[in-house]
Amino acid sequence: MTTDFTELQLDALRELANIGSGNAATALAQMLGREVELAVPRALALPLADAVDAVGPADASRSAVVLPIFGDLDAIVLLLFSDLDAAALCGLLGVEAGTEWGDSALGEIGNILGTSYINALATLAGVAIEPRPPHVVTDMLGAIVASLLTETAGETDVALVLDSELDVQGVACSMSFLLLPTAGGVAELLERLGMG
Amino acid sequence: MGELAASASADEELVSIGLGSCIGLTLIDRARPVAALAHVMLPDSAAAADGAPGKYADRAVPALIEAAEELGARRLRLEAVIVGGAQMFTLGNGSALDVGARNTAAVRGALAAARIPLRAERTGGSRGRTVRVHVGDARVTVKEAGGTDVPLFGGQVPAARRTTRAGAR
């Protein structure tokens, strides 16, 4: 695959992210019984190091839900919560953040949102994909994102990040929602969209 | 991130923040003192198009040596400290993709090839880390996620060891 994408391809990927995260936002709204607002997604194709910087400050503490997906398209779905957002979300679900129950609740949210997101993707692009069980960690943002991107980049130096923000209305709770496709996964996705 | 820095200024600090599977690779000449730090992301540069040598284990070591020497370090006095190489996630796709362990192995190999002794390391595990190199007193400290800076290396110049270097060549 080539290392750079055309504007048209990035637009298509951004639209895909928009629809996927729209689906995820709907699922979250139903689960919480609150409105969820969705910011316009970004599609970033950058060298690894710049992609890590673009996601946020490297030393910020984040809770991350990592949902590997595999099938016709290999990728990682990543949800990121600041400590405050994780606490707010756990509060809405009646569990305490930073405990086993809190992590389990975040994992389950990741599972539901991630599955909604990739279901939209699967339908749109006509790919068969499945999620693996979620993995929850709390660590430095840079460490989380760099570790995942070096896996998905598969030793190339280009990372593709589809990045959306979900904001739960009425409480101070937002989260970042990222799709990190593998190098082969992006090519497959564009191919299916007729933009390869 | 993926960068390389060197300094001989006593009041400077070189920092790599948020090392997960990446490695903060420090070369230090404690007698000057001069320090150089690279943020290594991947084990080898074979598949890479761009030129940032700090990003790859195989190219970072020679690039650091050069950067340190330019600031007056002596190659024979260089010592290495490595931090990072964690496996933060077990993604259920087998162990073949453990970039952290492969980065660690690649950096160790590149140091051995350049005959630079590895004096201290904090590698492996599953937590992110931040490494700080305090140039003036040639000290390296490391902080794990949620923790505080703890000393890992340096502070004093062991004059005797520098001249003997038993087994290093």
Q: Domains of chain B: which residue ranges?
A: 4-164
pLDDT band for B48, please (50, 70, 90 cuts). Answer: low
Pairing verdict, β B79-84 and B118-123 = parallel
B41/A68 CB distance under 8 A = no
Q: Is the pLDDT of residue B164 over 50?
A: no
d(CA B99, CA B141): 23
- Among candidates B21, B47, B146 on the partner chain, residue whose Cβ is nearest the Cβ of A150: B21
What is the rounded (10 degree) CA torsion for A83, A84, A87, A89? -110
Please name the residue of chain B whose CA is at the shortest distance from the CA of residue A52. B1
Predicted local distance difference test score (pLDDT) of residue A1: 38
| Residues spanned by the domain of A96 | 7-192
The CA distance from B109 to the nearest CA of chain A, in Å, is: 18
Report CA-CA distances (Å) from B84 to A54, A58, A129, B19, B46: 21, 14, 33, 5, 22
pLDDT band for A106, please (50, 70, 90 cuts). Answer: very high
Known catalytic residue: B131? no
List, for residues B6-24, the tens digit of each pLDDT value: 999 999 999 999 999 999 9
A134 and A111 Cβ atoms separated by less than 8 Å = yes
A140/B17 CB distance under 8 A = yes
Predicted local distance difference test score (pLDDT) of residue B166: 44
The CA distance from B25 to the nearest CA of chain A, in Å, is: 15
Average pLDDT, integer, range B98-111: 94
Order the strands of the B23-29 sheet from edge to edge: B4-7, B34-40, B23-29, B79-84, B118-123
Residue A95 lies in a domain: yes
Residue A171 lies in a domain: yes
The CA distance from A67 to the nearest CA of chain B, in Å, is: 8
CATH number of the CATH domain containing A13: 3.40.1550.10
Predicted local distance difference test score (pLDDT) of residue A108: 93
B91/A143 CB distance under 8 A = no
The CATH number of B4-164, from 3.30.1490.20, 3.30.1330.200, 3.30.470.10, 1.10.10.60, is 3.30.1330.200
Interface probe with A: pick from B4, B15, B17, B123, most Cβ of A within 10 Å: B17
Q: Which chain B residues have a beta carbon less than 8 Å from that of A48? A: 1-2, 41-42, 55
Computed over every residue of chain A, the mean pLDDT equals 88
Please name the residue of chain A whose CA is at the shortest distance from the CA of residue B146. A139
Predicted local distance difference test score (pLDDT) of residue A80: 94
A with B: how many residue pairs have Cβ under 8 Å apart? 117
Residue A179 lies in a domain: yes
B17/A58 CB distance under 8 A = yes
The CA distance from B164 to the nearest CA of chain A, in Å, is: 39
Q: Is the pLDDT of residue A27 over 90?
A: yes
Judged by a CB distance cut-off of 8 A, whether residue B46 touches chain A is yes
Predicted local distance difference test score (pLDDT) of residue B59: 92
Judged by a CB distance cut-off of 8 A, whether residue B159 touches chain A is no
Q: Is the pLDDT of residue A74 over 60?
A: yes
Please name the residue of chain B whose CA is at the shortest distance from the CA of residue A63. B145
List, for residues A150-182, the tens digit of each pLDDT value: 888 776 677 888 888 899 998 889 999 899 988
Structural domain total, chain A: 1
Q: Is the pLDDT of residue B93 over 60?
A: no
Residue A2 lies in a domain: no
Computed over every residue of chain B, the mean pLDDT equals 87
Predicted local distance difference test score (pLDDT) of residue A184: 83
Residue A1 lies in a domain: no
Catalytic pick among B4, B22, B60, B106: B22
d(CA B17, CA B39): 9
d(CA A25, CA A39): 10
Q: Is the pLDDT of residue B163 over 50?
A: no
Residue bearing the bigger pLDDT, B11 or A45: B11
Give me the interface pTM, i.e. the ipTM: 0.82
Question: Could you tell me which of B110, B115, B150, B101 has the C-alpha nearest to residue B130?
Answer: B150
Displacement of CA A108 from its chain's centroid (Å): 14
Predicted local distance difference test score (pLDDT) of residue B97: 59
Structural tokens at position A175: 């989260």
Please name the residue of chain B whose CA is at the shortest distance from the CA of residue A140. B18
Q: Is the pLDDT of residue B161 over 60?
A: no
Predicted local distance difference test score (pLDDT) of residue A105: 94
